[in-house]
Amino acid sequence: MVYEKNISLLREKKFFSLFENLAGKAVEAAELLVELKEDYSTLSQISQVLNTLEDEADSVVHQIVHELIYDHSREGEEKEDIRYFAHNLDNVVDGVEKAVNRLTFIRRQPKTLPEPEGEFSTVILEASQEIIKAVSCLRNLSAEEKTLETCCIRINELENEADNLNRKWLRILMTTPVKEPDELLERMVLKEIVDILEDTMDQCEDVANVLDTFRVKKLFFYYERCF
């Protein structure tokens, strides 16, 4: 019995480490997007780094899924929550990588990061920072429950900001007349990138919702044991 409990605790710690690793990669991806605001000439290099980062994030997700297969201490619903959480967090990295990759499609490369992407980058970075803070709370949820809840609320607020940015820039991109034919193609690429980044923020919100589910279920389990 003691042996089984120790194995369960080791597996729990491994999950926490994997979650934090994956959340850290989301922060790295968001920081790289913000770096483009400071030096857009690094677009090609940052796109390559993000491609590698995406592969690393996929590898962490595979480790999480592998651990779930051999974890017999959790019910199917809890395993599904963890799998959903991991895939959505991985999608944050994927979304940033995809958006930066699309920027390389623009023929007449601008000298600075286009304004729509610049505005989204700040929101996505803050959301990813809130995610990693919330994930770190899982190690001691009884003491950090309020912090995790605050992080989730903030991520939802940031997602609302991203919705407003999406509406704002779609209106501009789709209604402002173009001066040259090539500009129409650029406009189409920028519109797709705005959609990708808005979807990336949706993924951040989904991550926050699952984290909040972890919080609520943990509290429910605690109170259930008390009565």
Q: What is the dihedral of CA 140, 146, 148, 150, to 10 degrees?
A: -160
What is the architecture of the domain spanning 2-226? Up-down Bundle (1.20)
Mean pLDDT value of segment 13-36:
93
CA distances from 178 to 110, 119, 187 (A): 16, 22, 9
DSSP classification of residue 42: G
Contact call for residues 116 and 165 (beta carbons, < 8 A): yes
Q: Average pLDDT, stretch 1-27?
A: 68
Mean pLDDT of the region 19-47: 96
Burial environment of residue 16 by CB neighbours within 10 A (0 to 12, 13 to 18, 19 or more):
middle
> pLDDT digit string (tens) for 133-148?
999 998 888 889 899 9
Distance CA 140, CA 214 (A): 12
Average pLDDT over residues 7-31: 80
Whose structure tokens read 């803070």? 133
**What does the pLDDT read at residue 75?**
62
Quote the pLDDT of residue 8.
40
83: region left, alpha or beta (phi > 0 left; psi from -120 to 50 alpha): alpha
Q: Indicate if the pLDDT at residue 71 is higher than 70.
A: no
Instruction: Render pLDDT for 81-125 as a digit per residue (tens, 0 to 9).
Output: 888 899 999 999 999 999 999 999 998 888 899 999 999 999 999
Domain boundaries, the chain: 2-226
Residue 225 clears pLDDT 50, i.e. is over it: no
Beta-carbon-side half-sphere exposure of residue 47 (alpha carbons within 13 Å): 13
